[in-house]
Structure 1
Amino acid sequence: MKALVLAGGRGTRLRPLTNTSAKQLFPVANKPVLFYGLEAIRDAGIVEVGIVVGDTGAEVRAAVGDGSRFGLRVTYLPQEAPLGLAHCVLIAREFLGDDDFVMYLGDNFLVGGIQELVAAFDPAAYSAQILLTPVDDPRSYGVAELGRSGQIVGLAEKPDDPASDLAIVGVYMFTPAVHEAVRAISPSARGELEITDAVQWLINHGHHVHSHLITGYWKDTGRVRDMLECNRIVLESIETRLAGTVDDRTEIVGRVVLEAGAVVENSVIRGPVVIGPDTKIIGSYLGPFTSIGAGCTLEDAEIEYSIVMNSSAVRGVARIEASLIGKGVEVVPARRAPNTHQLVLGDHSTVRLRG
């Protein structure tokens, strides 16, 4: 069995951060989301992995390399434009050959791995296996309709009137039968080859498609609030490890990971918190569910329930929360001026200011 990992999407809902970085490499507890997926694939006993990459392919290649650090053998499959999930299968035809495969969306976060899914897959009994989970608002997802015996009888991509509350999780199992399906379908109204259309084609042509309901935690990390929620879930399970330096004026409460080279002085850290290597925390407060990347500086600052990426600095700023701060960012107090705001913002930014 092989794995096809999709890491070519543009991540429009995370702009402006995704204007310069691959969304699949955004950190959860200081580890890229994509790495959790690759580890889950390895733990399921799969070695051969094809990674579909797009405009941010160079960044993904630099982070993952040849896959050996994960115990994998990685092949990169360039996609000229984000033309749909089924298009990814189409361009991966030579890599996949006639093997069964798992397709894993690189920006999805699934607690518990995929060992159970892979072990349950029976290519003699069905041509595809789709993971489903109930969601509050299925209109934002691909949605499955089940028959009386639990088999999938219909799929729809982000329907206005969902047939159920069962969203399609971004992990699929396929036999080689799917290759005929992706060749047979046409682009949707949004100009993409939809994997839901390919699976529907299989159903319409007499192939059995099996549903696998998951009850564990799953998130599509396409929005800031989803990233922060995943960060919270992972930090819930950390164990204290203080490899850096903490002075005697600092108070640490709860579970905290402090990587080697990090320094904390005259501060209050209330876990769960992860602080990356070579980061300095001086005269500051870090509240629960916060991840600070490598080489950062926090001085006279307060921050909680947030993610700060590598090489960023926050100085002299009180009470930042529920925030996602990118790489190499500087956050400092504004100069005092009457009733004015001075802003430099990227495309599609969201800013909330006091009146």
Structure 2
Amino acid sequence: MKIIVPMAGRGSRLRPHTLTVPKPLIPIAGKPIVHRLVTDISKVLDEPVDEIAFILGDPAFFGEDVVGSLKELAAELNAKASIYRQDQPLGTGHAIMCAADSLSGPAVIAYADTLIKANFNLDKNADAVIWVKQVDQPEAYGVVKLNEKKEIVELIEKPEEFVSDLAVIGIYYYKDVEVLKKELQYVLENNIINGGEYQINDGIKRMIQSGKVFVTGEVDEWMDCGNKAVTVETNTRMLGFLEQDQEPLIDPDLIQDESEIIKPCYIGKGVVLNNAKVGPNVSIGDGCVIENTSIKNSLVQTNTTIKNAKLDNAMIGNNVQYDGEFTTVSIGDYSVLK
């Protein structure tokens, strides 16, 4: 089994946090999004993962530090890491074809901007599975249309009239991903473009038209990381799940003086709390100092100092110095506010 992870996008909706860090490496409850996604998928698959192919963007942004972290991730899962580059933002179908050398055999394709909780019961009689989640506003999503056999017969992007409330979440299984490769090659060679880009959906539609059987898989939880507000919400939900699973979330060597922690919280290595009230639903990365501050429902990355603040629904980047009274903030890396 292979896992294919397109992650070349810059994450513009999550700026300023993605100006210096690729969105898939933004930490949620102390672990980068892509690490959580790939680890969770590998846990629920019913067969070993032998290769993980990562499709990255510009090397100036997705540099050797990113490559190194992804190779370490694959090694932790006893899999080979394959690194590919998408030099131009030409769409989801184009991104997958950048990993053409890895497109053979059974594979899961997962876009690295979402997190899930699910049991992957693969239907081995189907040619492919598209994971979906029931949503309240299907007109805002791409949805699947099913026939009486519960097979997928059509993909509709943001339907103006009700077709289905099952939204595509960006995770797919192919019994033989080389079939998708063949159809996407046709899409590229014949310049089939939608929205100015080559889309995975056009390859999928060609597979359906040729008689390939697609079915749905449903996830228990689907957590987006598209912008600051939903990323903070996803951090809150993930902390709740991890606490339920009794995962250790607070470094045992935490230094604290006259401080209170209201769980669930993630607190990394080398953190210092001085006259601080932290939680609930807060993640604080390694090397941070929190002083004379109350903070809840927030995400703070690494090596940041926060003083004299009362924060709620905040997202603060790496290496920030913050001393102030604003409550709901979104501050990027290396910022200084005093």
**TM-score interval (norm. to shorter):** 0.7 to 0.9
Instruction: State which of 217, 224, 227 in structure 2 corresponds to 1:223.
Output: 227
SS at match of 1:327: coil
| Structure 1, 259-268 or 56-65: larger mean CA deviation | 56-65
For the residues of structure 1 that align with 2:166 and 2:193, how far apart are their CA atoms? 21
State the Cα distance separating 1:25 from its structure 2 match: 1.0
For the residues of structure 1 that align with 2:20 and 2:159, how far apart are their CA atoms? 31
| Mapping for residues 104-143 of structure 1, pairs under 5 Å | 104-112=110-118, 116-117=120-121, 120-122=122-124, 125-143=125-143
State the Cα distance separating 1:89 from its structure 2 match: 2.3
Instruction: Please state if 1:69 is matched with 2:76.
Output: yes
Instruction: Please state if 1:86 is matched with 2:93.
Output: yes
Q: CA RMSD in A?
A: 2.4
State the Cα distance separating 1:162 from its structure 2 match: 5.0
SS at match of 2:13: helix
Instruction: Please state if 1:310 is matched with 2:315.
Output: no
State the Cα distance separating 1:38 from its structure 2 match: 2.0
The amino acid across from 1:110 in the alignment is: I
- Quickly say closer, same or farther: Cα 1:61–1:322, change in 2 above 3 A: same
The amino acid across from 2:315 in the alignment is: L
For the residues of structure 2 that align with 1:68 and 1:262, how far apart are their CA atoms? 29
State the Cα distance separating 1:213 from its structure 2 match: 2.8
**Larger Rg computed on CA atoms:** 1
| Mapping for residues 53-202 of structure 1, pairs under 5 Å | 53-55=56-58, 56-58=61-63, 59-66=65-72, 67-96=74-103, 98-112=104-118, 116-117=120-121, 120-122=122-124, 125-174=125-174, 175=176, 176-185=178-187, 186-202=191-207
- Measured against aligned partners, the alpha-carbon deviations of 1:41-89 in whole angstroms (never above 9, x if no partner) come to 4322212111111134224213222521232211101111232221122
For the residues of structure 1 that align with 2:94 and 2:160, how far apart are their CA atoms? 24
User: What is the TM-score normalised by the length of structure 1?
Assistant: 0.82
- Whether the 8 Å CA contact 1:155–1:197 is kept in 2: the answer is no
State the Cα distance separating 1:137 from its structure 2 match: 2.1
State the Cα distance separating 1:40 from its structure 2 match: 2.5
Partner of 1:353: none
Instruction: State which of 271, 293, 298 in structure 1 corresponds to 2:285.
Output: 293
Gaps of 5+ in 2: 333-338
For the residues of structure 2 that align with 1:311 and 1:162, how far apart are their CA atoms? 48
- Whether the 8 Å CA contact 2:116–2:223 is kept in 1: the answer is yes
- Whether the 8 Å CA contact 1:156–1:196 is kept in 2: the answer is no
Instruction: Please state if 1:320 is matched with 2:311.
Output: yes
- Quickly say closer, same or farther: Cα 1:7–1:285, change in 2 above 3 A: same
Instruction: State which of 205, 208, 212 in structure 1 corresponds to 2:210.
Output: 205
List 4+ stretches of structure 1 deviating above 6 A. Answer: 343-346
- Paired residues, what number? 315
SS at match of 1:102: strand
For the residues of structure 2 that align with 1:192 and 1:139, how far apart are their CA atoms? 21
State the Cα distance separating 1:238 from its structure 2 match: 4.2
Partner of 2:335: none
For the residues of structure 1 that align with 2:216 and 2:250, how far apart are their CA atoms? 42
Instruction: Please state if 1:263 is matched with 2:255.
Output: yes
Partner of 1:339: none
For the residues of structure 2 that align with 1:144 and 1:60, how far apart are their CA atoms? 34
SS at match of 1:136: coil
- Whether the 8 Å CA contact 1:53–1:60 is kept in 2: the answer is no
For the residues of structure 1 that align with 2:4 and 2:308, how far apart are their CA atoms? 45
SS at match of 1:65: helix
- Measured against aligned partners, the alpha-carbon deviations of 1:224-281 in whole angstroms (never above 9, x if no partner) come to 23222222222224459xxxxxxxxxxxxxx984314421111121111111110111
- Measured against aligned partners, the alpha-carbon deviations of 1:148-192 in whole angstroms (never above 9, x if no partner) come to 221111102334445211101221012221112212224534222
For the residues of structure 2 that align with 1:81 and 1:107, how far apart are their CA atoms? 19
Partner of 2:336: none
- Quickly say closer, same or farther: Cα 1:220–1:234, change in 2 above 3 A: closer
- Measured against aligned partners, the alpha-carbon deviations of 1:106-150 in whole angstroms (never above 9, x if no partner) come to 2220113x5x24xx242xx43321111111222332211111221
Partner of 1:33: 33
- Whether the 8 Å CA contact 1:231–1:289 is kept in 2: the answer is yes
- Whether the 8 Å CA contact 1:33–1:108 is kept in 2: the answer is yes
- Quickly say closer, same or farther: Cα 1:159–1:193, change in 2 above 3 A: farther
| Structure 1, 205-214 or 279-288: larger mean CA deviation | 205-214
- Quickly say closer, same or farther: Cα 1:171–1:238, change in 2 above 3 A: closer
